[in-house]
Amino acid sequence: SRDALAQALEVLRAARPTAVNLMNNLDRMKVALAQADFAAALGQEALRLVEEDRQLCDNIAEAGSALVKPESRLLTHCNTGGLATAGVGTALGVIARAHQQGKVANVWVGETRPLLQGGRLTAWELGELAIPFQLITDSMAASLMASGQVDAVWVGADRIAANGDVANKIGTYSLAVLAHYHQIPFYVAAPHTTLDRQCASGRDIPIEQRAASEVTGAAGSFGSVRWAPEAAAVCNPAFDVTPAALISGWVLDTGVIVPEAVKAGAFQP
């Protein structure tokens, strides 16, 4: 029923407070839900969203691949490919397009703890695309950068604030700090729909808190295991915020936004 779908829409909205793309798409589905023939309207709007996302991803891949230098060894975090989007992906879409152009020597894939989206998803996608990669634990990134084995870092974004701050999967901020220290370019790839111009800065982005069980152990097809003491207190934010000052470029479907443009107010409402 319309009422049941409306309730489900609000439950979904409340479940993921950090990612703004979900909010934007739910707003559009809510308009469709208000139509007389809401079932048909919802289906049509969903298909439009899918096609739009495919085009957004293609545009991001084209803009971002121009920044990838030949024989690049790239490092990425979480999953930003076809499993996370309707198209080729954002950061992973850039990497895939650069690989097609013969410019990718290797991709370092951070596991992305605690849910291992890098180890489970990105590694699988790169394998399917025949892109050379090596899986690493998140804590290995610093050592690789120090030894000169990383030429650039590419990540996605769940929300971009008006001042250029970026919320993304937990661990992204750490990579940005490391890249800045080692003078390695750090790029964010995302569609323009990820911009939240009403959000002044990263301090205003709500951060989703996840279940303690994700940190105290693991569960999967193998069953479940707990390695932490029963009484262990847990802090498990799903995202962190990377300040704009640490970002070398924001690669959107509309083109590449450079730091100077962001400082001049490119993302301001």
Task: Write out the catalytic residue numbers.
Answer: 158
* Identity of the residue numbered 136: I
Helices (H) and strands (E) in the chain, counts: 10, 13
The CA distance from 166 to 18, in Å, is 11
The CA distance from 217 to 228, in Å, is 7
Closest CA to 245 of 148, 173, 170: 173
Q: Classify residue 193 by its DSSP letter.
A: G
Q: Classify residue 192 by its DSSP letter.
A: G
Residues 6+ apart with CB under 8 A from 262: 163, 164, 244, 247, 250
Burial class of 260 by CB neighbour count within 10 A (0 to 12, 13 to 18, 19+): exposed
Q: Where are the alpha helices (DSSP H) in 182-258?
A: 213-216
Strand positions, DSSP E, 27-151: 72-76, 104-110, 133-136
The CA distance from 145 to 142, in Å, is 5
